[in-house]
């Protein structure tokens, strides 16, 4: 399970050093793709394969599933982190997420998310106030 918030930097070659506590679980390979709210999702390869299986189970006649799958798979980039725990974020994904040099990398349970620091700060400021009110709808019965 991926947890926590980290603030690495993107180097001049578009590489990110993965947080040390995430490296073991991601060492076998990752898939980076477009996420919601203009962040990037980083999945360990087995988790990406699980999600791909779920998308394959959707009927071809389901318009929203087709549209989501097209973007999800067409934008996906797979690679194995190097010995320093670095991955390269392709230009099209950096552009989608508006990534500058300053990043925020968060653990989001079964995936990692990469955010531009300013975008994350804005998202958090807008979302934190609603956090307590959201729980009941997300976790029926509460914690």
Instruction: Pick the closest to residue 16 from 138, 127, 119, 114 (CA basis).
Output: 114
Calpha distance 108→36 (Å, rounded):
13
The two tokens of residue 42 are 């980083």
Q: What is the pLDDT of residue 128?
A: 85
User: Which residues share a beta bridge with 60?
Assistant: none
Phi/psi of residue 18, nearest 5 degrees: -65, 145
Write the pLDDT tens digit of every residue in 92-142. Answer: 999 999 999 999 999 999 999 999 999 999 999 989 878 867 766 676 666
Decide if 48 contacts 31 (C-beta within 8 A).
Answer: yes
Write the pLDDT tens digit of every residue in 14-39. Answer: 999 999 999 999 999 999 999 999 99
Q: Identify the residue whose tokens are 């307590």.
A: 132
Q: What is the pLDDT of residue 138?
A: 72
Calpha distance 75→67 (Å, rounded):
12
Write the pLDDT tens digit of every residue in 64-81. Answer: 999 999 999 999 999 999
Written in H, E and C, the secondary structure of the chain is: CECCEECCEECCCCEEECCHHHHHHHCCCEEEEECHHHCEEEEEHHHHHHHHHHHHCCCCCCHHHHHHHHHHHHCCEEECCCCCCEEECCHHHHHHHCCCCEEEEEEEECEEEEEEHHHHHHHHHHHHHHHHHHHHHHCCCCC
Q: What is the pLDDT of residue 130?
A: 81
Q: What is the pLDDT of residue 64?
A: 95
The two tokens of residue 131 are 């956090």
Instruction: Determine the average pLDDT of the residues in 46-60.
Output: 96
Q: What is the pLDDT of residue 142?
A: 63
Q: Domains (ranges, CATH) in the chain? A: 5-133 (3.40.1550.20)
Instruction: Determine the average pLDDT of the residues in 49-68.
Output: 95
Q: What is the pLDDT of residue 143?
A: 67
């Amino acid at each position: 399970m991926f947890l926590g918030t980290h603030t690495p930097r993107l180097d001049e070659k578009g590489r990110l050093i993965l947080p040390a506590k995430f490296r073991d679980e991601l060492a076998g390979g990752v898939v980076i793709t477009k996420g919601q709210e203009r962040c990037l999702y980083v999945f360990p390869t087995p988790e990406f394969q699980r999600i791909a299986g779920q998308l394959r189970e959707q009927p071809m006649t389901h318009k929203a599933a087709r549209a989501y799958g097209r973007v999800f798979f067409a934008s996906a980039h797979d690679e194995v982190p190097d010995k320093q725990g670095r991955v390269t974020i392709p230009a099209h994904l950096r552009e989608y997420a508006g990534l500058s040099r300053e990043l925020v990398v968060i653990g989001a349970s079964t995936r990692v998310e990469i955010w531009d620091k300013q975008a994350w700060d804005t998202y958090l400021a807008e979302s934190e106030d609603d956090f307590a009110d959201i729980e009941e709808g997300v976790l029926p019965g509460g914690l």
